[in-house]
Amino acid sequence: MSDSAVSVSVSQVLSSLGIADALLPGAWAGAALDLLGDGVIESRNPADGSVIGRVSPCTDEQYEVVVARAQAQFERWRLIPAPRRGEIVRQMAEGFRKHKVALGHLVSLEVGKVASEGAGEVQETIDIADFAVGLSRQLYGLAMHSERPGHRMYEQWHPLGLISVITAFNFPNAVWAWNALLACVCGDGVVWKPSHKAPLTAIATHRICEEVLAAHGFSGLFGLVIGKNRAHAEKMIRDHRFPLVSATGSTNMGRHIGTVVAERFGRSLLELGGNNAIIVTKDADLDLALRGITFGAVGTAGQRCTSTRRVYLQESIAAEFTARLVKAYGQVRIGDPLQPGTLMGPLIDNDAVRCFEEAIITAVAQGGRVLCGGKRIDRPGSYVEPTIIAIQEGMAIVKEETFAPILYVGTFKTLDDAIRMQNDVPQGLSSSIFTTNFQSAEQFLSAVGSDCGIANVNIGTSGAEIGGAFGGDKETGGGREAGSDCWKQYMRRQTCTLNYSKELPLAQGVNFDI
């Protein structure tokens, strides 16, 4: 694609989403605030380094306006019946359907995802909106039998308050939606601090929802603050107006957020690092495994928290399968994410490329052997070669998460050995086994199997559906988002006991006669 074609594409995408190709405000309280902050955040296309938009950072004054407006609207919103809230979220889903192509392209332009992944991310937002609509009629409590005669017990759920959502660059639309759209049907308001590396996607997403909210008299229920550094995130995690902080990012970031929020007795929902492994047994369908591993490791240029970082192959198939994997890597088409046929786009920026290069140097120094890839591609943009490194057990680098397409490949004798090596990392997000042996699959899924929050059989580590709870344990943070009963995190539980008798019996048979 020529430079002029890219320029036209960017202009068309921004125009169709209602974003002028000019300086945009970095704070939104329903509508853009007049006050512009000092400095500029440049949104750059990682495919060629070009500037596709500029955003003025949020000021402290704007932050206060955004939060105060959202708080005021929450106090009204919580009184709206949940099914009615669901109907408004349904209309937001229609907005995302209308703008799916343009918003998907913007995701590709801003963070480098190939076109199908950009569109897929917006589809994930549509899916979670549809899930939230159904959920709006299923915010169930429980009825319980009281031990006291003439009493009834039940529990109910109430809106929690304002939810702070802090997201990373790699899913600039969908991860916000996991939180915001569920919180919305639960009766909450939301203030979003997106990554400064993807501000345009955040603004476009916000505007789609704001159009619907404004039409129903709730302009500002969703707020947006964009900053160049961590200052506003720090304000949010210390702000008592946010009873829940949901944050996606590094383990170090999550450790800090969890500590600060806990000190004020708030809740934190943390989705942090992943170091995901796939085990391939000698009886596996190797064609299936090859596809699952390649997408898991190469998709989004290895910049998913669920990306496949490690593969453990049973010794009898290791040599043959590794050769097939190297061949498959040689067929991965790398280039402009919006060009048809591209399978892997660029890393997000030059800092990511530097981390990629440093990890490979460290792995080799620790005894790893590069089987393919390992270099930056000499062309404009932040492109690298997808890389496979043969490892020895005990290499320290294997326990670290590098946000890049680096795949470590090791071998194992027994399934017990493979599970032990898989679990021997600080992170616990996603895991998979490829096997046709029923006993091996059941062992992997048992209490002595995978210690990850996500455990798959005969599919890869990446690409979770929204119907299940998403998240992991250990240094992944313990948070759960999206499906199942994750909605409960955005509400407060209340246990109610009603006495409809003429007596006042005490629980546990306690006597207190006056």
Which residues are annotated as catalytic?
A: 271, 305
Query: If you write DSSP's letter for every residue of 229-256 in order, what string do you get?
Result: SSHHHHHHHH-TT-SEEEEES-HHHHHH
**Contact, 120 vs 469, CB < 8 A?**
no
Q: Which H helix or E strand runs over 403?
A: none
Give SS3 for 334.
strand
Structure-token pair, residue 280: 């391939």
Spell out the SS3 assignment of 258-279: HHHHHHCCCEEEEECCCCEEEE
Residue 437 is classified by DSSP as -
Q: Which residues contact 77 (CB under 8 A, 6 or more apart)?
A: 85, 159, 187, 188, 189, 218, 221
Length of the chain: 514
CA dist 352 and 111 (Å) reads: 12
CA dist 162 and 367 (Å) reads: 50
CA dist 289 and 299 (Å) reads: 15
Structure-token pair, residue 127: 């899916």
Q: Which residues contact 513 (CB under 8 A, 6 or more apart)?
A: none
**C-alpha closest to that of 200 among 437, 10, 65:** 10
Give SS3 for 420.
helix
Render the burial of 240-250: b for 16+ CB within 10 Å, e for the rest: ebbbbbbbbbb
**Contact, 20 vs 55, CB < 8 A?**
no
Sign of CA dihedral 291, 293, 297, 299: positive
Structure-token pair, residue 444: 């992997």
Q: Report how far Cα 461 is from the mean position of its chain's Cα atoms.
A: 14
Residue listed under structure tokens 């391939």? 280
Spell out the SS3 assignment of 144-171: ECCCCCCEEEEEEEEECCEEEEECCCCC
Strand order in the sheet with 244-248: 31-32, 27-29, 222-225, 189-193, 162-166, 244-248, 267-271
Neighbouring C-alpha atoms within 13 Å toward the C-beta of 72: 12
